[in-house]
Amino acid sequence: MHGRRDVLRLGAVIAAGGLVAPLLAACATPSASGSVAPFAGGSPTPASSRGALSGPITVLMAGADPSAEPALKRVYDEFKAKNPGIEWDFRVIPGFGAEWDRLARALLEAGEPVGLVMIDGLYVRAWARDGLLADLGADPAMADVLARVPPSFHLGGPGETTTRAFPLALSRGVLTTGLYFNKALLDQAGLEPPRTIADFKAMVAPLAALGAAPLVHCSGDVSFNTLLVTWVLPMIAERTGDPLEFVERTIRGEVGYDSPEWTEAFQVIADLRTSGVLLDGSGATDYATMQLLFLQGKAAMTYNGTWLLASLQKGTPTVPFELHVAPLPRIDRASTARSILAWGGLAMPAKAAASRDSVVAFLDYASRPEVDQAVVEGLHVYSPIAASNVGIHDAVAREFLPMFKDAIPPLNWLWEPEIEAEMDDQVQALVKGDTDPASVGKAIEAVAQDLRASGRSYYS
């Protein structure tokens, strides 16, 4: 998950550009290869057409060393146990965000023999645009692997239909969004979870009588503000077509960020504040404070992602509290509200490493149903392979599963980082009441026009 991705940060960001090479070398961590029990259903034997597999596989990733997580270590170790010529070389760059992107690019540009990349989906289009990622569908040996993962989870570059990256449970699964609610507080007010924005507005008075607002949002952490756009805009765009295509047209300049559709989306967000749906002060509320306000009964609901669940379950409520999750409320004339499909995925560098055959064989193994499901159970993450999610046992976590059906990739994965930054700031100002919907659209469109004029737009 980027501001909100930073919520998932597992390590400190490496700071000094001049120390890239030694720091990356220090992060290289060959995995142990002790004896392991095989997964049910078969052994990871290499494809006979590829012969014996040998040599190092260099894996570039963010976060924690997988050898420290038993569910992941088992996958890597068992593959090595059946292919003893393989050696794992994990290059773990701590943290997420722009600094990870810079250091990971530096590693590839330095000519390191990277065979497998675990990359935040946010960066896939930019890496593909810059010629850094291989076309996975071009290798016939990848056909079975790609077929196991539904097409909605495949991601390519701008304007591409090919696959550059895709998730598995191995890459720590997939994320979505929903509406967390305190059923105890809603019951006290005689309310049900809202199905529409109109329902949301009707909840203001009953909840105010109990000293609560319907919704709190952490707009004080600015990168959570695009989350509001990814909730509202798809429903507006879908009235006349596909929301992802609508955003592509916007990036191309065929639609302005100040168009009626975008302005309506910003107006819906502004109305959440003016109607009293949003808790007063949400524009300055950070991620941690949002959780406290929810647990203290100051708001009955909060809109966020699956990444928040563990923190809420570990929190200490100060009011009667029964946590559940509901689908996102719909706007007028919308039949479906679409949650997001976010993930860190698996990709291969465009510059083929000597280990490419070994990487393909490993991905074939890691995507097998019995292996994928075992990782789901071990990590408590959601897999893009629906059958694997029988391994999700937590009752609240299972309430998210229906939301994957209609979910789409986050819209902010499509536009340029400069647009993302401007939109986050402008929507925060909107939530604070410091600007208006038309001005938000004009400010973002000005950034888009500058990107096109300078040749830095994705479609320049």
**Which of 86, 87, 88, 126 is CA-nearest to residue 104?**
126
CA distance 6 to 146: 29
Write the single-letter amino acid at 410. Answer: P
Distance CA(291)–CA(436), nearest Å, equals 27
d(CA 386, CA 401): 9
The pTM assigned to this predicted structure is 0.86
Neighbour count for residue 54 (Cβ, 10 Å): 15
What is the DSSP pairing of strand 299-305 with strand 213-216? Answer: parallel
Query: In angstroms, what CA-CA distances link 290 with 44, 82, 189, 197, 274?
Result: 45, 48, 21, 20, 19
Per-residue pLDDT at 94:
77
Angle at 342 between CA 244 and CA 163, to 5 degrees: 65
| 8 A C-beta contact, residue 86 and residue 53 | yes
Q: In whole angstroms, what is the distance from residue 435 CA to residue 443 CA?
A: 11
CATH of domain 177-339+416-453: 3.40.190.10
What is the spatial distance between Cα 444 and Cα 442, in angstroms, rounded to a whole number? 6
**Which class is domain 4-174+342-402?**
alpha beta
Q: List, in order, residues 6 or more apart from 118 with CB less than 8 Å away.
A: 59, 60, 61, 62, 171, 344, 345, 346, 347
Q: Is residue 108 within 8 Å of residue 24, measured between CB atoms?
A: no
pLDDT of residue 401: 96
Residue 390 half-sphere exposure toward CB, CA atoms < 13 A: 7
Question: Residue 10: what pLDDT?
Answer: 30
Q: What is the pLDDT of residue 38?
A: 54
**pLDDT at residue number 205:** 98
End-to-end CA distance of the chain: 28
3-state secondary structure of 293: helix
SS3 166: strand
Q: Could you tell me the residue ranges of all domains in the chain?
A: 4-174+342-402, 177-339+416-453
- What are the distances in angstroms from CA 70 to CA 40, 90, 396? 17, 15, 24
CB atoms within 10 A of CB 377: 16
Q: How high is the pLDDT of residue 36?
A: 42
Q: Are 291 and 311 in contact (CB under 8 A)?
A: yes
Q: What is the pLDDT along the chain (460 residues), one digit of tens a residue?
A: 344 344 333 332 222 222 223 223 333 333 333 334 455 544 444 443 446 899 999 999 987 788 889 999 999 999 999 999 999 999 998 776 778 899 999 999 999 999 999 999 989 998 998 999 999 999 999 999 999 999 999 999 988 899 999 999 999 999 999 999 999 999 999 999 999 999 999 999 999 999 999 999 999 999 899 999 999 999 999 999 999 999 999 999 999 999 999 999 999 999 999 999 999 999 999 999 999 999 999 999 999 999 999 999 999 999 999 999 999 999 999 989 999 999 999 999 999 889 999 999 999 999 999 999 999 999 999 999 999 999 999 999 999 999 999 999 999 999 998 999 999 999 999 999 999 999 999 999 999 999 999 998 988 8
Q: Do domains 4-174+342-402 and 177-339+416-453 have the same CATH topology?
A: yes
Question: CA 373, CA 382: separation in Å to the nearest integer?
Answer: 9
